[in-house]
Amino acid sequence: MTAPVTLPLWLFLLILAFAGVTFASHFLFPSVRWFFRRRLERAVARLNERLERPIRPFKLAERHDTIQRLIYDPEVSRAIVATAEAEGVPENVAFERARRYAREIVPAFSASLYFGLAIRLARWLSGRLYAVRLEQAEVVARIDRDATVVFVMNHRSNMDYVLLTHLVAETSPLAYAVGEWARVWPVSRLIRALGGYFIRRREGNMLYRRVLARYVQLATEGGVTQALYPEGGLSLTGGLGPPKLGLLKYIAEAETAGRDVIFVPVGLNYDRVLEDRLLTSAGQAGTRRFRARPLAIARFVFGQLWFKITGRHRRFGQAAVRFGRPLSLADFRGAHDADPRALAEALMRRIGAAVPVVPVPVVAHLLRSDGAMPRAALHRRAAALTEGLGVPALTPAALDQAVGQLAARKIVVEQGDTLAPAEDETVLLDFYARSIAHLLPPDAAAAE
């Protein structure tokens, strides 16, 4: 038993390596994870003291634990059995497919990354690009602290989430759905860390839909604050689109055990949508395939940096966000039996009513409906329009800034003191005018 054993050096080093890995995985790593977990829990406790709505335990759960909870959910288990029978495959094959779907969907939220980086970046980017205007912020503060809050908003730009993340930073971190475009490393890792979950918008597979539905319902039942677009995607016309039922239906079917779900309508509008030409081109082509050229994007980014360096940087006008009248799911169920279609339509009406009026859409509407006019006439008609809509009047300076922005992009032509729409840019004028068309009287809206 005490006789020496001779080993080659490479084998001895290999044994030491295995012993080191075993020690680390069984003793060192658990201790380190426990140490950092305790620090994280104390940091989250301090953070919850200043947030209007605390971060829920479901959002802080380990990603592995949430995946396990999801794939062993009774409804998912029934869907696995049904899929195996329908496709004639073993249940373990269907189970592994469900596990793959769950790993694809479930985020890996990092409170330190969200509050340490994402909110600062959102605040900086919003302020650099726009003069941000927030209306009726007190709506959120009045909501029951124990309710599950779901922000539902119109989808004008990829800046929408950046703006909302910045403006509700003191409320709660958001969970949001992201399409297939972002499932690219390292973007996917960042989005998961910020609480985003990935969805396949056109996936008709029953098992996938059941896994997605149960994740959304578990998050809703866990009180996680969410944000979603009922329209399902970016507006190609500039106006509001018809609602999609998918995620709304899943939320409406969640068993919240006495916790109410409060939908908060959010209306967004911009003087400049960064992707406007990309969206209108897709709309004219009749497709949702956005052909964004990396060279054009890089040219835009470096151009803005150059303007900043040379002191010529100008913000793209206003970006306005307005919170609308909240809708209680419990009250709605009592009146409409939680019909998903009726719920979606009611929310779209409230989102439409909350859309803010900003200068560029007003200028675009007046020039498209009334044609060329002197600058003074534009000021008078804009004042009459905003008065008729019951919204704060736009100052002549704000209107002139909007005209200058459109003229710089050659969308509006200045002929002395007369303003006229450029003949080859009517599509873009229509895009901006339609953002407020639903707020206008029927005869004026019909002209859009």
Q: What is the pLDDT of residues 11-20, one digit of tens each?
A: 667 777 777 7
Least-confidence region, from 59-63, 103-107, 414-418: 59-63
Task: Tell me if 433 is assigned to some domain.
Answer: yes
pTM, entire model:
0.84
| Measured distance CA(69)–CA(67) in Å, rounded | 5
Mean pLDDT of the chain, nearest integer: 84
| Measured distance CA(235)–CA(157) in Å, rounded | 8
pLDDT of residue 153: 94
Task: Tell me if 36 is assigned to some domain.
Answer: no
Task: Tell me if 89 is assigned to some domain.
Answer: no
Q: Are 250 and 212 in contact (CB under 8 A)?
A: yes
Task: Tell me if 428 is assigned to some domain.
Answer: yes
Task: Tell me if 298 is assigned to some domain.
Answer: no
**Cβ neighbours of residue 410 under 8 Å, at least 6 residues apart?**
422, 425
Residue 34 has pLDDT above 80, yes or no: no
What is the tally of structural domains in the chain?
1
Q: What is the pLDDT of residues 369-394, one digit of tens each?
A: 999 999 999 999 999 999 998 888 89
Residue 295 has pLDDT above 80, yes or no: no
pLDDT of residue 446: 46
Can you give the residue range of the structural domain that contains 435?
Answer: 359-447
| Measured distance CA(125)–CA(434) in Å, rounded | 26
Task: Tell me if 234 is assigned to some domain.
Answer: no
CA of residue 257 relative to chain centroid, distance:
27
CATH number at residue 373: 1.10.3380.30
Residue 35 has pLDDT above 70, yes or no: no
Task: Tell me if 163 is assigned to some domain.
Answer: no
Task: Tell me if 238 is assigned to some domain.
Answer: no
